[in-house]
Chain A
Amino acid sequence: MAIQAGIWALEILAIAVPIALSVAYITYFERRVIGWIQVRKGCNRVGPAGLLQPLADGLKLFLKETIIPARANKLLFVGAPILALTPALIAFAVVPFGETSLFGLWDEPHVMAIAHLNVGLLYILAISSLSVYGFLMAGWASNSKYAIMGSIRTTCQMISYEIAMGFGLVTVMMLAGSLDLADIVHAQQGGLLHWYMIPLFPILLVFFISGCAEAGRTPFDLTETEELVAGYHVEYSGMWFATFSLAEYGTMILISLMTSILFLGGWYAPIPALDIIPGTFWLLGKAAFLIFVFIWFRATFPRYRYDQMMRLGWKIFLPWTLGWIFVVGVFIYTPGLDGIINFWLAWR
């Protein structure tokens, strides 16, 4: 049992440490890409090509004083960043990073995930709905009007877009016939034409844009605009503030990985012949491209106003996904259309 516990600890470290490192370097990547889009250099002073900038930023944040407002609810003020970060990290427990037979050591390929749940998709939905509490608590415990306005906006945004996201995922479940993330990837085996992005293209858009809202990224960063001073984290400083950013970037990585798994064929190559390259590279490559898209969004779009954000979530995405559930249902159960859908869904 001690050995099993040790293996679990190693598995958790093998995922948590790369996430922390990639969050640090996504901030660097983001600054360089936005600099490139806006025809300027971005950070290039600390270390070669500015590569040590994230470490310098981290050190600065560690050394800054943590200020707790006098009238704040101290326990919840300190607990809120942890409540925000924990769901973003524990969601990674079920993400399958690929399949391996360990160079033929095992007879059957094993799924590379800490926990291979048969309800993985529901687990992700449930866990990502928990991060709301961190933001809600942060605003309330700060005892400040700007913080509470920001936290109400964040919470409204997150719960609105979660619904569209959940309904969008229903279509994926319908096509794959499973809630197991590995099964969903297996159902997309066989190259680009079998990926769910083709039959579910509108859902891909809804999912990714909702993911943007979920992570509070531009164009949905109205929760931390100038008019609110900074949003729910206005009273936070130093490492506690950085914890919120860590949660935001962690959610961004998670959304990118989930979009790749659910719609872009997971660890399969676009052409089956290219599957000799290990699947993990394909998955991480797709996720990296989507992270680039997130940053591209930030450099391109102006932000939504609060009422526009609500309208998009409730009046456009929700009917859209509900309609697509109907369309997918009709496609699956109409005998004549079977042949057409079979082209995409290998032998349903």
Chain B
Amino acid sequence: MLETVFFNLFGGLSILAGMGVVLSRNTMHSVLFLILCFFNAAGLFFMLDAEFLGIILILIYVGAVMVLFMFVIMMLEVNVAKLKEGVVQYLPLGGMIAVLLLIEFVAASSSGVFTQGDKAVAEHFGREVNNTAEIGQILYTKYLLGFEIAAIILLVALVGAIVLTIRNRKDAKYQNISAQVKVRREDRVRKVRM
């Protein structure tokens, strides 16, 4: 009973927020709607007893990724009128993608894949499930290779982003912190006998 109420609350709010992302005119509001959407998705995770995934969703997406989104959007001057141009031109293509996605969603949700997920939850029911520990166990044993590959790809992306944005300007002034720390009074102050 209570579970149904909360499921409808989280599910409904995430759909509304998702629509808000697309429909709001102000890009800043779009980002805030997206954050609300993530929050409700996290709520759905909590309802599946997947508290680790829910918290990680908030920590990574809301706490880190969306902050960067917001940074970029704050700095951009978005011309809303220009964005609205060509709606009619792109409508057929966009509509087709939307219909395809809809068919895919319906096919996926009626294929019975998700009911197996219910069974997995039901199997765990009745014993103490610590899914933080369980995810850790399976990630570092069975899926270790995939985990390591993902880590390497992320590392390469990180280094790549830094290399792309680094600019060694000749006229930029840098401070040598260790030299600053090593400075003694005698290097700076000289007693002059008058």
Q: Which residues of B contact A119 (CB under 8 A)?
A: 51-52, 55, 132
Query: In the complex, A21→B78 CA distance in Å?
Result: 44
| Given A122-B52, A129-B63, A159-B64, A179 and B132 contact (CB-CB distance below 8 Å) | yes
Contact A126 B28, CB 8 Å, known A119-B55, A136-B70, A311-B177 = no
Cβ of B58 < 8 Å from any Cβ of A?
yes
Most buried by B among A117, A122, A127, A136: A122
Contacting residue for A126 out of B59, B71, B130, CB 8 A: B59
Assess the A129–B62 pair: CB atoms within 8 A.
yes
Of residues 18 through 59 on chain B, the ones whose CB sits less than 8 Å from some CB of chain A are: 26, 28, 32, 35, 51-52, 55-56, 58-59
Least CB separation from A141: chain B residue: B28
- Bound CA span A155–B70, Å: 11
- B67 at interface, CB cutoff 8 A: yes
Say yes or no: is A118 at the interface (Cβ < 8 Å to chain B). yes
Contact A133 B35 (CB under 8 A): yes
Asked if B74 is an interface residue, CB under 8 A from chain A, the answer is yes
What B residues does A127 contact at CB under 8 A?
58
- Report if A76 contacts B (CB, 8 A): yes
Q: Is A140 an interface residue (CB 8 A)?
A: yes
Distance in Å: Cβ of A169 to nearest Cβ of chain B: 12
Nearest CB on A from B62, distance (A): 6
A132 to B69, CA, bound (A): 13
A-B contact count (CB 8 A): 56
Chain A's interface size range is 20 to 34
For residue B174, which residue of chain A has the nearest CB? Answer: A307
A225 to chain B, nearest CB (A): 19
Residue numbers in B under 8 Å from A155 (CB-CB):
67, 71
Q: Report chain A residues within 8 Å CB of B130.
A: 118
Q: Which residues of A contact B70 (CB under 8 A)?
A: 133, 136
* B83-94 to A contact mask, C-beta < 8 Å, 1/0: 000000000000
Cβ-based interface call for A130 (8 A)? yes
Residues of A with C-beta under 8 A to B62: 126, 129-130
Residues of A within 8 A of B35 (CB): 133
Q: Which of A89-136 contact B (CB under 8 A)?
A: 117-119, 122-123, 125-127, 129-130, 132-133, 136
- The prevalent SS among residues of B at the interface is helix
On chain B, the number of residues with a Cβ less than 8 Å from chain A's Cβ atoms is: 21
Question: Chain A residue with minimal CB distance to B129?
Answer: A118
User: How far in angstroms is the closest Cβ of chain A from B61?
Assistant: 10
- Residues 116-134 of B, flagged 1 when their CB comes within 8 A of A and 0 if not, give 0000000000000010100
Q: Does A23 lie at the interface of the complex (its beta carbon under 8 Å from any beta carbon of B)?
A: no
For the complex, give the distance between the alpha carbons of A158 and B175 in Å. Answer: 24
Q: Are B52 and A126 in contact (CB under 8 A)?
A: no
Report how far A29 CA is from B32 CA in the complex, Å. Answer: 38
Nearest CB of A to B46, in Å: 10
Q: Report A286-322 residues with CB < 8 Å from chain B CB.
A: 307-308, 311
> A119-B132, A159-B64 are known contacts. Are A129 and B51 too (CB-CB below 8 A)?
no
Q: Is A185 an interface residue (CB 8 A)?
A: no
In the assembled complex, A148 has its CB within 8 A of some CB on chain B: yes
Residues of the B chain whose Cβ atoms lie less than 8 Å from the Cβ of A123: 55
> CB-CB < 8 A to A133: which residues of B?
35, 67, 70
Bound together, the chains give a CA A119 to CA B59 distance in angstroms of: 13
A132 touches B51 (CB 8 A): no
| A126 CA to B67 CA, complexed, in Å | 13
Separation of A148 and B70 alpha carbons in the complex (Å): 13
Docked CA distance A260–B184 (Å):
38
* Chain A residues closer than 8 Å to B59, beta-carbon distance: 122, 125-126, 129
A187 to B165, CA, bound (A): 45
Q: Is the CB of B177 within 8 A of A159?
A: no
Closest residue of chain B to A125 (Cβ to Cβ) is: B59
Are A122 and B74 in contact, CB atoms less than 8 angstroms apart?
no
Task: Given A129-B64, A159-B64, decide whether A140 and B74 contact each other with a Cβ distance below 8 A.
Answer: yes
Which residue of chain A is the closest to B62 with respect to CB atoms? A130
Cα distance A127–B62 when bound, in Å? 10
Q: Once bound together, how far apart are the Cα atoms of A152 and B74, in whole Å?
A: 10
Given A122-B52, A132-B67, A136-B67, 7 more pairs with CB closer than 8 A:
A118-B130, A126-B55, A127-B58, A129-B58, A148-B74, A155-B71, A159-B64
Chain B residues in the interface with A (C-beta under 8 A): 26, 28, 32, 35, 51-52, 55-56, 58-59, 62-64, 67, 70-71, 74, 130, 132, 175, 177
The 17 sampled A-B contact pairs (Cβ below 8 Å) are A119-B51, A119-B52, A122-B59, A122-B132, A126-B55, A126-B56, A129-B58, A129-B62, A130-B58, A130-B63, A140-B28, A148-B74, A155-B71, A159-B64, A179-B132, A308-B177, A311-B177
